[in-house]
Amino acid sequence: MKTINKIIIIILLITTFSCQDVVDVDLETSKERLVIEALIQWENGTAGNEQTIKLTKTSSFYNNEIIYAVGASVKVKNTNTLEEFIFTETINGIYQTSNFISVLNDTYELTIRYQNEDYKATSTLFQAPEIVEITQSLEGGFTDEDPEVNIFFQDFIDQEDYYRIIVKQIRPSTSETINHDFFTYDARFEENNIISGFYEGAFEVNDEFEIIIYKISERFYNFLEVLETQSGSTFGPFASPPVNVKGNVTNISSSDNYPYGYFSSNQINKVFFVFE
C-alpha cells in the first residue's frame, strides 16, 4: 500500500573498468486511499459488546508514519434485526462501541462516511469451531529437531469451511512476544473431521501460547492467501504488502477511489497453552 515518488536506478557494469550510470525515473504519485481494519470479533463465552474499528490512510514508500483517518462516521447494522451500533472516535482513527450485540449467522453491514464519500461492506458472523486439544511434540512438523505445538479442532458438519488460526508466543522470562503468526486453512475436503495444524519453532519451557481460531468466508480466505503470497511470509491483513490488494469494502460514492482493508465479523475461540 506504499507508493514511490521517485526511484533512482543505479546500473553497475563490471567490465575492465567499473562505471555507474544513474537514471532518474519519475513515477506518478498514487492517490491516498482509506485503509479499513474492521474485524468484529466475539470471543466465545464473553459478551462481545466492546468492539473497535481502525481507519488509516496510505502513505508514500518512504513515510513510515501512520496517517490516521479522523472525523469519519462509522456504524455497523445487523441486517436481520435492523439494530445499529455507532462507533465513536475515541482517539485519532480509532472508532469504538461498548454496546455491540453479536448474533451467530446474522449478517452485519459496515457503513463509513469519510470526506464526503460512503463506504460499505457486509459480513456474516460465523460460529467458531471447537478446539478439541492442544499438544506438543517433536514429530509431525517440518523437522524432528524443532518442537511444535499441535492444534486439533472439529470441522463443521456438511459445510465447506475456511478457518483462520492465530498463534502468539510469549516468553515470561523476558515478557517478549516471540512470534505472532497467522494461518489460513481450507477444509473443504476434510468435512466432518477433526482437523490438525501445528506451529513449529524455538520454544523454551514455560513459554506461553495464546491460540485463536475462527471460521472465515471464502472471500476473506482468498484475500489473506493473496496477501501471504505477495509478502512471502505470514502477517496481518492490514500490513503493507508489496502490491495493493482490494478487500470487500466498496466506495459507493466513487468506484475509482476504492479503499483497502477488510470487514469481517466472527465468533472466536481462544485457548492458552504452556510449553513444558
The three cell numbers of residue 41 are 470479533
Residue 238 lies in a domain: no
Pairing assessment for the beta strands 34-43 and 260-274 based on DSSP bridges: parallel
For the stretch 70-96, pLDDT in tens is: 999 999 999 999 999 999 999 999 999
Residue 95 lies in a domain: yes
The three cell numbers of residue 88 are 465513536
Phi-psi region of 174 (alpha: psi -120 to 50; beta: other; left: phi over 0): alpha
CA distance 45 to 263: 23
Instruction: Say how many CA atoms lie within 13 Å of 5 toward its Cβ.
Output: 5
For the stretch 150-204, pLDDT in tens is: 999 999 887 789 999 999 999 998 888 887 777 888 988 777 789 988 888 888 8
Residue 263 lies in a domain: yes
Q: Which residue has the cell 449467522?
A: 105
For the stretch 19-57, pLDDT in tens is: 444 444 444 456 789 999 999 999 999 999 999 999 999
- Are 166 and 177 spatial neighbours (Cβ–Cβ below 8 Å)? no
Residue 10 lies in a domain: no
Residue 185 lies in a domain: no
Share of the chain above pLDDT 70, in %: 80
Q: What is the pTM of this model?
A: 0.81
Phi-psi region of 62 (alpha: psi -120 to 50; beta: other; left: phi over 0): alpha
Asked whether the predicted pLDDT for residue 15 surpasses 70, the reply is no
Residue 86 lies in a domain: yes
- Per the structure, the count of domains in the chain is 1
The residues, any chain, with a CB within 8 Å of residue 153's CB and separated by 6 or more, are 129, 130, 131, 132, 163, 194, 195, 213, 269
Share of the chain above pLDDT 90, in %: 59
For residue 260, the cross-strand partners are 35
Domain that holds residue 42: 34-127+243-267
CA distance 39 to 125: 11
The three cell numbers of residue 181 are 503468526
Residue 13 lies in a domain: no
| Residue whose C-alpha is closest to residue 55's, from 34, 71, 40, 73 | 34
The DSSP call for residue 120 is E
| Residue whose C-alpha is closest to residue 127's, from 102, 151, 104, 150 | 104
Residue 60 lies in a domain: yes
Domain with residue 121: its CATH number is: 2.60.40
